Amino acid sequence: MNDFGKTLARIREFRDARDWMQFHNPKNLAISINLEAAELLEHFQWKSMDESEQHAKAARDEIAEEIADVAIYLFELADNLGVDLLAAVNAKLAKNEAKYPVHKAKGSAKKYTQLH
Residues 73-112 that bind a copy of itself (CB under 8 A): 74-75, 77-78, 81-93, 95-97, 100, 102, 105-109
Subset of residues 19 to 78 that bind a copy of itself, contact rule: CB under 8 A: 19-20, 22-23, 25-28, 30-35, 37-49, 52-53, 55-57, 60, 63-65, 67-72, 74-75, 77-78
| Alpha-helical regions (H) of the chain | 4-17, 26-42, 49-58, 60-80, 85-99, 102-105
Rounded to whole angstroms, the Cα distance separating 20 from 56 reads: 33
DSSP conformation class of 99? H
Residue 84 CB, nearest approach to a copy of itself (Å): 7
How many residues bind a copy of itself (CB under 8 A)? The answer is 79
Query: What single-letter amino acid sits at 82?
Result: G
